[in-house]
């Protein structure tokens, strides 16, 4: 029988990691790449609708059943990059697709424009269609528009409002903080409580936390054997990971949204699941995984729309 080792925060590792991050001179992204995001001069309501809809379905794109990737206009995209690229192709030709009214009436045929590419279909196509419809319907019923939904000045209120939407019900609020990060970076919302920012905990941030050792386990066997953990354990673990990264943020002086951008890109390009590029890693001298020669993957929890 496999034991689910309880996670705990490693303060000494956090201090070492934070010291390195403080020296990286990280800059905040404003999300201006029009391959993935709308131009900044388009109608604010449609920008808000685009980001709210895309983040609502921005969760796992690859499972043991297959991966979501392909070429668009000669350029290769994988996973979330392909999803957002398809979103922008729709936005360029039909931006009203992302209005609350259109989302509230979204059917499977129209959803295919976003969730099916060539002969590849996202593994939970029907669930993502439902999440988009739920977003549109509740926005109309409760607020009448995305502008009114996001008429807030505190990220705490922002997250609380979003919990009513099925796409954003995750107790760890990965998607809510991801959306807040996008809207803050684009200056579509100006939050006055930046002390309440959090990282958006996904697979990459979990893997990095485990490998660097800012969280540790009393027993690593469930990580090493890659046995799928229950939902409650997944939530508890990601909350611990979020707390650990918040401590890194506070000690490094790098705000959680800037830190989140760095960690997500770092996890995809350097500290990858397979064949991590340790020669290009600024943390090689403090990394727990490198010191013990065990490059753990993140904990295994597959079928979720939370992250």
Domain limits, CATH 1.10.1670.10, in the chain: 7-28+197-292
Report the alpha-carbon distance of residue 40 to residue 43 in Å, rounded.
8
Q: How confident is the model at residue 66 (pLDDT cuts 50, 70, 90)?
A: confident
Of 19-23, 132-136, 171-175, 274-278, least confident by mean pLDDT is: 274-278
7-28+197-292 CATH pick, 1.10.10.10, 1.20.58.220, 1.10.443.10, 1.10.1670.10 = 1.10.1670.10
Buried b (16+ CB within 10 A) or exposed e, 125-135: bebbbbbbbbb
Q: What mean pLDDT do residues 55-59 have?
A: 98
Report the alpha-carbon distance of residue 61 to residue 273 in Å, rounded.
15
Phi, psi torsion values for 76, nearest 5 degrees: -85, 135
Question: The tokens of 254 are what?
Answer: 């790098």
pLDDT score at 289: 96
pLDDT at residue 3 above 90? no
pLDDT score at 2: 57
Of 3-7, 99-103, 271-275, 281-285, least confident by mean pLDDT is: 3-7
Q: How confident is the model at residue 167 (pLDDT cuts 50, 70, 90)?
A: very high
pLDDT at residue 1 above 60? no
> What share of the chain in percent tops pLDDT 90?
95
Q: What mean pLDDT do residues 272-288 have?
A: 95
For 89, counting Cβ atoms within 10 Å of its Cβ (0-12 exposed, 13-18 middle, 19+ buried), the class is middle
Across the chain, what does the average pLDDT equal? 96
Q: What mean pLDDT do residues 65-71 have?
A: 91
Phi, psi torsion values for 7, nearest 5 degrees: -80, 145
Buried b (16+ CB within 10 A) or exposed e, 11-32: eebbebbbebbeeeebeebebe
Phi, psi torsion values for 169, nearest 5 degrees: -85, -5
Q: What mean pLDDT do residues 270-292 have?
A: 95
Q: What mean pLDDT do residues 78-100 have?
A: 98
Closest CA to 287 of 201, 206, 208, 203: 208
Q: What mean pLDDT do residues 132-139 have?
A: 98
Whether 31 and 84 have beta carbons less than 8 Å apart is answered as: no
For 268, counting Cβ atoms within 10 Å of its Cβ (0-12 exposed, 13-18 middle, 19+ buried), the class is middle
Q: What mean pLDDT do residues 207-221 have?
A: 96
Q: How confident is the model at residue 16 (pLDDT cuts 50, 70, 90)?
A: very high
Residue ranges of alpha helices (H) inside the chain are 11-22, 44-56, 80-93, 100-104, 108-115, 125-142, 146-149, 155-162, 174-185, 203-212, 221-224, 231-252, 256-269, 288-292
């Amino acid at each position: 029988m496999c034991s689910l080792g309880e996670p705990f925060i490693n303060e000494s590792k956090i201090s070492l990691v934070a010291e390195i991050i403080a020296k990286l001179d990280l800059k905040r992204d404003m999300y201006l790449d029009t391959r993935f995001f709308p131009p900044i001069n388009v109608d604010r309501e449609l920008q808000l609708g685009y980001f709210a809809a895309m983040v609502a379905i921005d969760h796992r794109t690859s499972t043991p059943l297959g991966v979501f990737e392909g070429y668009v206009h000669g350029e290769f995209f994988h996973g979330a990059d392909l999803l957002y690229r398809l979103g922008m192709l729709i936005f360029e030709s039909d931006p009203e697709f992302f209005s609350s009214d259109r989302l509230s009436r979204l059917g499977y045929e129209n959803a295919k424009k976003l969730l099916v590419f060539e002969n590849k279909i996202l593994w939970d196509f029907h669930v993502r269609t439902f999440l988009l419809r739920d977003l549109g319907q509740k926005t109309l019923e409760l607020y009448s528009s995305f502008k009114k939904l996001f008429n807030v000045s505190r990220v705490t209120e922002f997250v609380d409002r979003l919990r009513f939407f099925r796409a954003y019900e995750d107790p760890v609020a990965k998607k809510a903080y991801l959306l807040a990060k996008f809207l803050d970076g684009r200056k579509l919302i100006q939050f006055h409580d930046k002390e309440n920012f959090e990282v958006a905990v996904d697979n990459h941030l979990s893997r990095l936390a485990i490998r660097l050792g800012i969280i540790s386990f009393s027993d690593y066997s469930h990580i090493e054997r890659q046995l799928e953990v229950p939902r409650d354990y997944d939530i508890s673990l990601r909350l611990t990971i979020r707390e650990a990264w918040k401590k890194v943020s506070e000690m490094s002086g790098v705000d959680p949204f800037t830190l989140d951008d760095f960690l997500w890109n770092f996890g995809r390009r350097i500290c990858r699941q397979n064949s991590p590029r340790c020669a290009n890693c600024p943390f090689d001298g403090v990394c727990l995984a490198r010191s013990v020669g065990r490059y753990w993957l993140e904990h295994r929890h597959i079928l979720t729309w939370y992250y």
